Structure 1
Amino acid sequence: MRNTLIHNGKKALEIYQATKSEDLRAFMKAYSGTSGTRLQLYNQAGDELLLDEDLKVRKAYVDTVLNGNTTDNFKGFITHVPFVGIPFEENGEKYAIFLSIENNKFEEQLMSAIVLMYIVVLFVGSLFIIIAARYVVNPLVKLTEATKKMSKGNFNVVLPMKRKDEIGTLSSSFNAMAKELGNLDQMRREFVSNVSHEIQSPLTSITGFSKALKQKKLSEESRIRYLGIIEQESARLSRLARNLLHLSHLQHEQLQLNLSIFRLDEQLRNLTIGLEPQWSEKQIAINIELPPITIEADEDQIKQVWTNLMTNSIKFTPAYGKISIKAEVNDNLISITITDTGPGIPEEERREIFKPFYKVDKSRDSSVKGNGLGLSIVKQIVDLHQGDISVNEGPNGGAEFHVTLPIKQEQKTRLD
C-alpha cells in the first residue's frame, strides 16, 4: 500500500507539471479522489491548503516532509487513517503532499454492519452462555445440597427428573441411590431394634426368675420350673448369638465357600433321619422322592439350608400332617422342593420372610419359638451358591419352598 500511494503521489506531481497548471491548490483539490486516492497539501508554513476533515496530519509529520523526507504512519494504521507524505518544491517554495486511500462508502457501511453483527453475536452468545451455565450449574448446585443432606443422615431427598440428558440420568441415579440408602438405613434401624428386642426379652425373663430363686420359701417344684425357664432363655440367647454370627459371616464379602463333591440325595436322607425325634413326636408323615444327585458345593452350608427349612416345616406342620421332599435335575439346574401342610404364608408377605427377624405372626402359630433369622441365613447361603429360593402355596395348602442350585459347565464336566 505504501508503494502504491508513493507512486500515485509522484504521478499526480508529474501530471501537474505536465499540465503547467498555475493554481497548485485547485489542481490538487481536483485530483483528490481520482484513482481511489485522497490528497492533503501543506505549504512551507505548515498551513493546510485542502479542507479535508477526514485527512488530518499531525505537525510532526508535516515538518518531516517539509524537511525533504518521505514519511508514513503505517505502523499505527489500525487506529489511524493510513497515509504517505511526499516532499516537493514549486517555484522555490517547499510543499508537503499527503496521500491516503479514498473512503469507500459501501465498504464503510459493510464494515459497520460487520462490527454491529459481531457486537450482536457477542451479546447473544454471552446471554446463551449465561443461560446454559445456569441450566447446567443449577442442577449441580441442587445435587450438592442434596448430598450435604444425605451426609447428615437425611435420605428423603428427591431431585427433579424431567430432563432427558446426562443431568437427568444423574438425577435419576441419585434418587435411586438415595432411596436405596434410605431403605438400608431403615433396615439397619429395624435390625438394631429387633436385635435389642430379641435380647431384652430373654434377659428380662432370666433376671426376673433369678430374683425369684432368691426367695427362701420357694417350693422345690417352683425352683425347678424357674431354673428350666432360665435354661430355655439362655439357650435362646445362645441360638440368637450363634445365628447372628453365622449371618454376619455369610454376608462378609470375602467369604470363600469350601467346595466339595457329595451326594445331595444322601445328605437330605441323613438329615431327615437325624430330625426323626422332632417329626415323629408330632406323627408327621414324611414323603421323600430323591433320585441320585451329585453336586459340587459347600457341604456344611448346604446342610444348614435343609436343616433350617426342615425345622421350620416341622415347627409349623400340625400333628398328623405331611412333609414332602422332592428333587430333580433339569439341564444345568438342581431343584429341591420342600412342602408342608402347615398354615402357609400369605402371598403379600412371601417376599419379606427372608429378611432378618421377619415373622409371619398372623398366619403362624405364635407359640412357636424362633428369632426370625433362619430363612435369612438360608437366603444368604443359596445366594452365595448363585442359586435361588422362593416360597409358594403348596398343592394342599401350607408352604412350599423351592430351591434351585446351578450346575456350571466345568462342574458338570468334573461330575461326569
Structure 2
Amino acid sequence: MTSEEHDGLQKSRRRMVIIRSISVLVILFFLQGGVAYGTLQLFLALPANWTGIIDDADIERDAHQGTVYMIDRAIASEPLKKPSDVLQELQPHFHFRLTYIEKPDHFSDEVQEQFKSYDLAYDDEDDHIYAKLQSGGYLKLGPLITTDINDANASAIFVLLALLTIVNAVLFFAILYFAFSTLWREARAIRLTANALGEGNLTARVPKIRSEPLKMIGHVINDMATRLELLVGHSRTMMHAMAHEFRTPLARLRFGLSMLEDSDPEEKKKLYAGIDKDIDELEQLIKISLDYFRMNNKNMPTKLENVHIKRWAENIIDDLSLLKPKGFEVSYNIANVDSSIDPKLAAMAFRNIILNAFKYARSKVYIHVYKQDDALIFEFDDDGPGVAESAREEIFSPFFRLDNDKSGSHEGYGVGLSFVRAIAELHHGSAFVLSSRLGGARFVMRFGL
C-alpha cells in the first residue's frame, strides 16, 4: 500500500468515525425525546397523593370561584336584563369568553359528576369552567389560559422536549466518551498491533492495557507475538546453521564427483567410500534438522507420565556409565519425588547434558534434582572451563560448537543443547547456563509443573 493510499484510507476512516458520531447523536436525540415525553406522561398519570400535585379541576375551581360569584351577583342585580346581555356588557373586562347556557344538555360526564359535589365544574378536555347560577341557568367560562404542559401548543412541547433531549444527549454522549475513550484507544492499539503482526513486524507489541475487558486480549496477543518471534527466530537460526553445515559435505561431494572421471580403480573406490560417507552425513544432518523443527513446535504433543524421578534419573546415569571417561566421577543428589514429565524427551535432554559434561569437564560432574515451588529443577555442575557469558545464550543455538572440547575431536553437530532447551520449553520451562561452584559450568533445566 502506497503512502497516498494509506493517507486516503485514514481520512476515510476519520470521516466514518464522524458520521457514526453524528448518527449516534441523532439517534440519542430521538430516543431521549421519546423517553422524556413518556416519563412526563407517566408522572402526570400518577395519583396526586404520590406526586403532591393538586388536580387541575381543584385548582381551576378554586381560582375562578370568586369570578363566578361576582358575575352571578351582577346578573342577579339586573333582573330586567337577559343574563346573556349582562355577560356581553362584562365581556370587555375578561380575557376569556363569557357564555350563558340555559340547559346543561351537552355537559360531559366528568362535568356532571363534579356538579354532584360542587357548584363549579372544570372540563379539562376543552379547558372551560361551568357554574350554576342563581337564575337557574349555567355560566360557561373559557377557554381558559392553561399552565398545563399537556395542554400547551405543539411548538411549546417540542421546544421543551428538544431542549431536554439536547442537554441529555450531549451529557450522555460526553459520559460515554469519557467512559469509553480509554477503551476505544486501547482497542485501536490492539488492532494496530494485530495489523503490524499480520504485515510481518514480529516486534510489535500491545502497549499496557488498563481496561479489564481488553487486558486479557492484549496479553494473549503479546504472548502469541513472542511465540511467533521465537519460532521465526529459531527457524532463521536453523536455516542459517543448516546452510553452513550442508556446505562442507556438499563441497566434498562435488570434489569427489569431479575426480571420478580421471581416477584409477583404486582411487575411485576411495572416492566412492568418501561419497557414501558424505551422503550419510547429509542424511544425518537432514534428520537432525527435522528433529529440531519438531522439537521447536510448541504444539507438539508431549506424552506426560507420572514418573518417580530418582529411579528414572539413576537408570539413565547407569546406562551412560559405559561412556564415562576413565577416572571421571559422577555424583548426584536426586530428590525422592514423583513428577509428571515425558520420560523419553526428558531422558534425551538429561543424557545430552551429561554427555556434554563427559566431553568438556575435566574430571567430575555433580547432578542435583529437586522440586521448588511449581517447578522440577535439574542442575548439572562440572569442573570444566565453563562457558563465557558472551556465549551462554548462543550455545543453545543449533550447530553451535564450543572450541574447548578437551578431546579435540569436535565430534557431533552441536544441536544437543538446542534439543535440551526445546524439550524444556515443551515442558513449559526453560534451560540456561551459569557458573558452577566446581569452577566450570552449571547447566540448569527447569520443567514447569
- The TM-score, its normalising length taken from structure 1, stands at 0.61
Tell me the distance in 1 between the aligned counterparts of 2:329 and 2:238: 36
Tell me the distance in 2 between the aligned counterparts of 1:50 and 1:155: 90
Which one is further off, 190-199 or 325-334? 325-334
Equivalent residue for 2:328, pick from 242, 261, 286: 286
Does 2:68 match 1:21?
Answer: no
Equivalent residue for 2:284, pick from 235, 259, 269: 235
Aligned to 1:50: 91
Partner SS, residue 328 of structure 2? strand
Deviations 1:10-68 (A, max 9, x none): 97289628x9523999xxxxxxxxxxxxxxx99379958423665358xxxx59x4665
Aligned to 1:139: 185
Q: 1:388 to 1:207 in 2, by over 3 A?
A: closer
Amino acid at match of 2:435: E
**Within-5 A mapping of 1:10-409:** 12=69, 16=73, 20-22=76-78, 43=84, 49-51=90-92, 54-56=95-97, 65=101, 68-69=104-105, 71=107, 82-86=127-131, 96-98=139-141, 123-135=166-178, 136=180, 138-139=184-185, 142-143=188-189, 145-146=191-192, 149-150=195-196, 152-153=198-199, 154=201, 166=211, 169=212, 175-214=218-257, 215-218=260-263, 219-220=267-268, 224-248=273-297, 251-252=298-299, 254-261=301-308, 263-264=311-312, 266-276=314-324, 279-280=325-326, 285-290=327-332, 296=338, 298-317=342-361, 321-327=362-368, 336-347=378-389, 350=392, 357=398, 359=400, 368=410, 373-379=415-421, 381-382=423-424, 390-403=432-445
Native 8 Å contact 1:263 1:293 kept in 2: no
Tell me the distance in 2 between the aligned counterparts of 1:70 and 1:8: 22
Shift of 1:188: 2.8
Shift of 1:308: 0.9
Shift of 1:309: 0.3
Tell me the distance in 2 between the aligned counterparts of 1:53 and 1:348: 106
**Structure 2 regions of 5+ residues with no counterpart?**
1-55, 112-121, 148-157
Tell me the distance in 2 between the aligned counterparts of 1:189 and 1:343: 32
Amino acid at match of 2:69: A
Q: 1:377 to 1:171 in 2, by over 3 A?
A: same
Q: 1:372 to 1:82 in 2, by over 3 A?
A: farther
Shift of 1:305: 2.3
Q: Could you say which structure has the larger radius of gyration?
A: 1
Over the aligned positions, Cα root-mean-square deviation in angstroms equals 5.4
Q: 1:231 to 1:50 in 2, by over 3 A?
A: same
Q: 1:143 to 1:190 in 2, by over 3 A?
A: closer
Q: 1:174 to 1:340 in 2, by over 3 A?
A: same
Native 8 Å contact 2:249 2:282 kept in 1: yes
Tell me the distance in 2 between the aligned counterparts of 1:290 and 1:156: 42
Tell me the distance in 1 between the aligned counterparts of 2:217 and 2:110: 63
- The TM-score, its normalising length taken from structure 2, stands at 0.58
Amino acid at match of 2:84: N
Q: Provide the aligned length of Structure 1 versus Structure 2.
A: 357
Tell me the distance in 2 between the aligned counterparts of 1:15 and 1:195: 113
Tell me the distance in 1 between the aligned counterparts of 2:123 and 2:129: 15
**Structure 1 regions of 5+ residues with no counterpart?**
26-40, 105-114, 409-416
Which one is further off, 124-133 or 368-377? 368-377
Higher helix share: 2
Q: 1:396 to 1:209 in 2, by over 3 A?
A: same
Native 8 Å contact 2:360 2:404 kept in 1: no
